[in-house]
Amino acid sequence: MVVGAALCVISGLPALAGSRAARATPVLLVAGALAGLTGSAIGLVTGPTVFGLPWRVPGGAFLIRVDALSAFFAAPVFLLAGAGALYAQRYWPTTRMRSAYVRAFFGLLTGALALVMTAGNTIFFLAAWEVVAGASFFLIATEHEQAQTRSAGWIFLAASHVATLALFAIVAILHGLTRTWAFAPLPAGAAALPAGSAVLWLALVAFGIKAGLMPFHVWLPGAHAAAPSHVSAVLSGVVIKMGIYGLVRVLSLFDAVPATFGATLLLAGIGSSVLGVAFALAQHDLKRLLAYHSIENIGIIVTGLGIGVLAQARGEPLLALLGYAGALLHVWNHSLFKSLLFFSAGAAIHSVHTREIDRMGGLAKRMPWTAAAFATGAVAIAGLPPLNGFVSEWLLYYAGFTSITSSAPGGPALLVLLVVPALALTGALALACFVKAFGAVFLGSPRTSAAENAREAPRSMLLAMVPLVLGCAAIGLLPATLAPILGPAVHGAAPGIEPAGKIVALLRPIQTAAAVLAAIAAAAALMLFASARRAVSAVTWDCAYGAPTSRMQYTGSSLARGFLGFFAWAMRPIVHAPRTWTLFPSAAKFETHVPDTALDWVLLPAMRAGQRLLRLARYLQRGRMQLYLLYLGATLVALLAWSAR
Amino acid sequence: MTAGLHILLVLLAAPLLPGVITKTKARVAGRSGPPLLQPYYDMAKLLRKGTVLSSTTTWVFLLAPAVAVVVPVLASLFLPLAGTRSPIAFSGDAILFVYLFALSRFCTTAAALDTGSAFEGMGAARELTFAALAEPALFFGLLALARISRSLSLSSLLAVGGAGWRHASAALVLIVASWFIVLLAENSRVPFDDPNTHLELTMIHEVMVLDHSGPAFGLILYGSALKLFVFSTLIAAVLLPRTGIPLTDAAATLGAVLLLGVVIGLVESGMARLRLVRVPQLLVTASLIAGFAVVLVLR
């Protein structure tokens, strides 16, 4: 594990040295990824292992502690580091300088991420956390000549610093409670103390910002859209999981967490998932659409954690197990299918040179392998059987159904019940959104000449998608074999519950059903393909109109328009529609745009108001040395007076 | 044995249901109508025909009909049709049941977009919008039934039987009402969609399959008959008491399903299609009805 992280960190250095040495970068990264994955596998099977190096920072220790939880979260980091290295080979054929820049920071990012997930010391955790934030900022700002990219980078940096501020407070309070800088279990009943509850709520803010939970998600869509695609995949696949990891780690330190905190997590998760997918439906930019889906999936994960915490507080072990297992499995699943989607979307964007969904179309004929990869990711993220997204969502649904059948004193946990309709709505909307994305980008006929001339992605990019597709299929078809991995991780997150056997018993029938479904559907499809081999080719039927053009196709925006109405209260779409009153209207233009409500309607106005307020402070700043000396003198005198009091 | 009877019944009897609906509508209108077995003749004819494929389409286009047939057959295996137990039953299969139909929806709407036609895209958009509203209603009903039967497997969850009707009759009536609306929406029946219209602009399901022909179209017709049969069985299972004898139960279910077909035919004869803007309101009403059933059983 350590070797893997170290190899990732240094992998970018040869790229800085020169173009010939740059070839070593992917080799080092893939080697690091393999070493790290082996380390994670060992960490999941064996007990906690500790590795230390001397580090001369007061309170800090270069301490790496790999337990099941760390290994579980670190595994996708290494997988994506390796796949990203392969993908980036041909993705970035611009100037040498810039390619070296991306490679250097990509290696640093993935290496530091692995350290965040395995840090055994809070100061070391903070240091690695900041390295990740810095490296992410530079990667997001890769195309810094575009104003949009710069603003996305600055918003990310600002949000990241707010999170770090809260994190500093958490670390200080934890030290105050445990008298050690290591991640140590808090004394019994800590959650009831004011300091303990402060830790919990600060953790919700700090890790909520990092994870992109709904009210704190403002940085996420812009940053994911601006970064190069393999960086978006890592940002969405694992960097935001840093927040989930932190939340789970802090929760695991408490012996009991109050039910109100669980309920808050649950409601925040539900809000985040429903609104995240609603915003995603309204996007015109393929990468922004995927970014909003990250918010949705983080919402699903946090919902699962909320179920776990709530059920533990009420003393329902089966429900807690379902919540934690669903949440943690969804962490892996989201890493797999979201990075797959970013990789394949990036390949499409790379060959059409636009991110606008409605300027693509018909790419399945031109890039069949990329289309198949995107379709796999789409089915998985929509939570459909027989792929992996279904398994984790099934566990959460099962929790909702279990809560209504259980006859615990005080009746079923009503909040957990809410999960079922919320997930149903989220799932149906996600399905619609990915039919829109897949249909408008890959199906139909090309909408522009750029889409018409698209070429299949280079082989190295396709190769990077292979492990991800296999991962999606493996978890979907063989979920029961996953239980030995999931069991220790759940145990690490919530030491109170004993999972392993129950998960296997639950998942086995799902596994059989998925296999049967896949087998029969494949057989039926093959028979149909065979029967259609002698088919006559003709033009699409357009009500007897013989020459349909690609501009007559239904667009992705039109497909989503029906949904926009339901969520107009939250999304506030800006519509510029022409008014056609005459019989022969002249040429007109129709435009819709959905700004991010939290950013454009709440946060930015608040910031502007704050700026106006702070303008008063500018009065002090005159730019004259004498005045500053006077301030210094006055402060000294004031301090002296205060200490002599 | 029971499983064999189950599968045979589903595969053979499904196309009878659209026949019954058409016949009912014809009788109400004072016509004699096409023969009861007309859907069988149509499918047999289509399976023998050649295929015309749009040059825009890809593999997605042919995958959809295959999935549309496989999904309802597989889903039917979770339902108790002949006897008290369904051929496949496990805790939590109710969730898989709903998601199987979601998979089929993904494939059919993607296939509609695959043709690059304006009309088929419009149909796909409607199908997706309405299904998103129908799904919560289905889940609310399942939640209420899970509470009544204390079970998470469709096999025992649907078979509430006499005891269920004595203790929670109000909730069950609400569930059946809500699910009947869902059945009409999911299967594109009259207040939502008119399967008889031939105006592409107003259709949902029929417009999505404009470009399918030959065996593929035959499979789509068969798939939609199967889907209607499965949803009708779902409602019939809640309504019917069980004897435990496979043949008797199978006959009773078939009778109830066909009777439901007559009811659908009567509904279709009695009312016109709703305006598209009214459709979401009816579906939200269905969700609220089922949600109220959940509130009732939680008392």
The 3-class secondary structure across A258-312, one letter per residue, is CHHHHHHHHHHHHHHHHHHHHHHHCCCEHHHHHHHHHHHHHHHHHHHHHHHHHHH
- Residue A608: what residue type? R
- pLDDT at residue B137 in the model: 93
**Distance between CA A207 and CA B25 in Å, rounded?**
60
**Distance between CA A15 and CA A22 in Å, rounded?**
4
Suggest the residue from A379, A404, A429, A537 to mutate for an interface test with chain B (most B CBs closer than 10 A): A404
pLDDT tops 80 at residue A569: no
**Distance between CA B39 and CA B19 in Å, rounded?**
6
Query: What is the band of A18 on the pLDDT scale with cuts at 50, 70, 90?
Result: low
CB atoms within 10 A of CB A480: 17
Instruction: Please name which of A120, A419, A427, A64 lies closest in space to residue A249, comparing C-alpha atoms.
Output: A120
**Distance between CA B17 and CA B11 in Å, rounded?**
12
**Distance between CA B96 and CA B139 in Å, rounded?**
11
**Distance between CA A293 and CA A381 in Å, rounded?**
9
pLDDT tops 90 at residue A297: yes
Instruction: Name the token pair of A74.
Output: 């670190």
| A118 against A372, higher pLDDT | A372
Suggest the residue from B128, B277, B283 to mutate for an interface test with chain A (most A CBs closer than 10 A): B128
**Distance between CA A311 and CA B193 in Å, rounded?**
44
CA-based torsion, B225, B227, B233, B238: positive or negative: negative
**CB-CB neighbors (< 8 A) of B71 in chain A:** 521
Count interface pairs A-B at CB distance under 8 A: 256
- Cis peptide leading into residue A386 (ω within 30°): yes
DSSP H helical segments within chain B, as ranges?
Answer: 2-13, 16-28, 38-48, 59-76, 93-114, 118-149, 154-157, 161-167, 169-186, 205-208, 214-239, 246-270, 279-298
pLDDT tops 80 at residue B219: yes
Instruction: Please name which of A491, A473, A483 lies closest in space to residue A507, comparing C-alpha atoms.
Output: A483
What average pLDDT does chain A have? 84
- The rounded percent of chain B whose pLDDT value lies above 90 is 40
Show the CA angle centred on residue A378, arms to residues A377 and A379, nearest 5°. 95
- Residue B191 has what DSSP assignment? T
pLDDT tens digits along A377-424: 999 999 998 888 999 999 999 999 888 887 665 555 778 888 999 999
A554 and B120 in contact by Cβ < 8 A?
yes
- pLDDT at residue B267 in the model: 92
- pLDDT at residue A331 in the model: 93
**Distance (Å) from the alpha carbon of B147 to chain A's nearest alpha carbon:** 5
Angstrom CA distances, A380 to A419, A482, B140, stand at 20, 17, 24
The helix (run of H) or strand (run of E) holding residue B54 is strand B52-54
- Residue-range domain boundaries for chain A: 257-526+555-575, 601-643
Count of domains for chain B: 1
- Residue A304: what residue type? G
Give chain B's end-to-end CA distance (angstroms, integer): 41
Interface of B with A in 156-185 (CB under 8 A): none
pLDDT tops 90 at residue B138: yes
Distant-in-sequence, close-in-space partners of A89: CB < 8 Å, separation ≥ 6: A26, A458, A460, A461
Mean pLDDT of A431-459: 88
Q: Does B52 touch chain A (CB under 8 A)?
A: yes
pLDDT tops 70 at residue B22: yes
B115 and A540 in contact by Cβ < 8 A?
yes
**CB-CB neighbors (< 8 A) of B94 in chain A:** 401
- pLDDT at residue B110 in the model: 93
Instruction: Please name which of A75, A80, A85 lies closest in space to residue A28, comparing C-alpha atoms.
Output: A85
ipTM of predicted assembly, 2 dp: 0.93
Mean pLDDT of B185-201: 78
Instruction: Name the token pair of A633.
Output: 């003198």
**Distance between CA A307 and CA A219 in Å, rounded?**
27
Q: Does B117 touch chain A (CB under 8 A)?
A: yes
Instruction: Name the token pair of A177.
Output: 């409670």
Helix axes B93-114, B118-149, angle to 10 degrees: 180
Pairing mode, strands A574-576 and A49-53: unpaired
Helix axes A240-253, A317-352, angle to 10 degrees: 170
Helices (H) and strands (E) in chain A, counts: 26, 5
SS (H, E, C) B259-298: HHHHHHHHHHHHCCCCCHHHHHHHHHHHHHHHHHHHHHHH
Facing A429 at nearest CB: one of B121, B132, B298: B132
Angstrom CA distances, A505 to A13, A113, A482, stand at 48, 34, 12
Report CA dihedral (B224, B230, B236, B237) to the nearest 10 degrees. Answer: -170
pLDDT tops 80 at residue A254: yes
Q: Does B251 touch chain A (CB under 8 A)?
A: no
- pLDDT at residue A94 in the model: 58
B99 and A383 in contact by Cβ < 8 A?
yes
Rg (Cα) of chain B, in Å, rounded? 19
Mean pLDDT of A18-36: 68
Q: A370 with A459: CB under 8 angstroms?
A: no
Q: Is B291 exposed, middle or buried (0-12, 13-18, 19+ CB in 10 A)?
A: buried
How far is Cα of residue B253 from the mean position of the Cα atoms in its chain?
Answer: 15
Pairing mode, strands A49-53 and A62-66: antiparallel
Mean pLDDT of B215-237: 92
Phi-psi region of B48 (alpha: psi -120 to 50; beta: other; left: phi over 0): alpha
**Distance between CA A339 and CA A385 in Å, rounded?**
19
Angstrom CA distances, A416 to A132, A303, A309, A425, stand at 35, 9, 11, 15
Interface of A with B in 414-433 (CB under 8 A): 414, 417, 420-421, 424-425, 427-429, 431-432
Query: What is the band of A528 on the pLDDT scale with cuts at 50, 70, 90?
Result: confident
- pLDDT at residue B284 in the model: 92
Facing B110 at nearest CB: one of A383, A438, A528: A438
pLDDT tops 90 at residue A81: no
Query: What is the band of A106 on the pLDDT scale with cuts at 50, 70, 90?
Result: confident
The DSSP annotation for A598-643 comes to IIIIIIHHHHHHHHHHHGGGGGG----HHHHHHHHHHHHHHHHHHH
Mean pLDDT of B145-167: 82
Suggest the residue from A363, A433, A443 to mutate for an interface test with chain B (most B CBs closer than 10 A): A443
Interface of A with B in 360-399 (CB under 8 A): 361-362, 364-365, 368, 371, 375, 378-379, 382-385, 390, 394, 397-398
Distant-in-sequence, close-in-space partners of A354: CB < 8 Å, separation ≥ 6: A360, A448, A450
**Distance between CA B89 and CA B157 in Å, rounded?**
11
Mean pLDDT of A438-458: 87
**Distance between CA A309 and CA A56 in Å, rounded?**
38
Facing B139 at nearest CB: one of A382, A421, A432: A421
User: What distance separates the 2 farthest-apart alpha carbons in chain A?
Assistant: 99
| A611 against B224, higher pLDDT | B224
- pLDDT at residue A60 in the model: 73
Q: A341 with A289: CB under 8 angstroms?
A: no
- pLDDT at residue A459 in the model: 86
* Minimum Cα–Cα distance from B131: chain A residue: A428
What is the three-class DSSP state of A498? coil
Show the CA angle centred on residue A424, arms to residues B268 and A558, nearest 5°. 70
Q: Does A270 touch chain B (CB under 8 A)?
A: no
* Minimum Cα–Cα distance from A531: chain B residue: B215
**Distance between CA A391 and CA A397 in Å, rounded?**
10
- Residue A428: what residue type? A
pLDDT tops 70 at residue A88: yes
* Minimum Cα–Cα distance from B295: chain A residue: A414
Q: B13 with B251: CB under 8 angstroms?
A: no
Q: A393 with A591: CB under 8 angstroms?
A: no
**CB-CB neighbors (< 8 A) of B59 in chain A:** 364, 529
Interface of A with B in 593-622 (CB under 8 A): none
Q: A89 with A460: CB under 8 angstroms?
A: yes
Facing A417 at nearest CB: one of B70, B102, B143: B143
Q: A426 with A274: CB under 8 angstroms?
A: yes
Q: Residue B111's domain spans which residues?
A: 2-298
Q: What are residue A119's DSSP bridge partners? A: A64
* Minimum Cα–Cα distance from B143: chain A residue: A401
* Minimum Cα–Cα distance from A542: chain B residue: B117
Interface of B with A in 53-72 (CB under 8 A): 53-60, 62-63, 65-67, 69-71
Residue with tokens 């189950």: B6
Instruction: Please name which of B46, B36, B45 lies closest in space to residue B218, comparing C-alpha atoms.
Output: B46
Show the CA angle centred on residue B22, arms to residues B18 and B28, nearest 5°. 145
**CB-CB neighbors (< 8 A) of A364 in chain B:** 58-60, 114
CA atoms within 13 A on the CB side of B104: 28
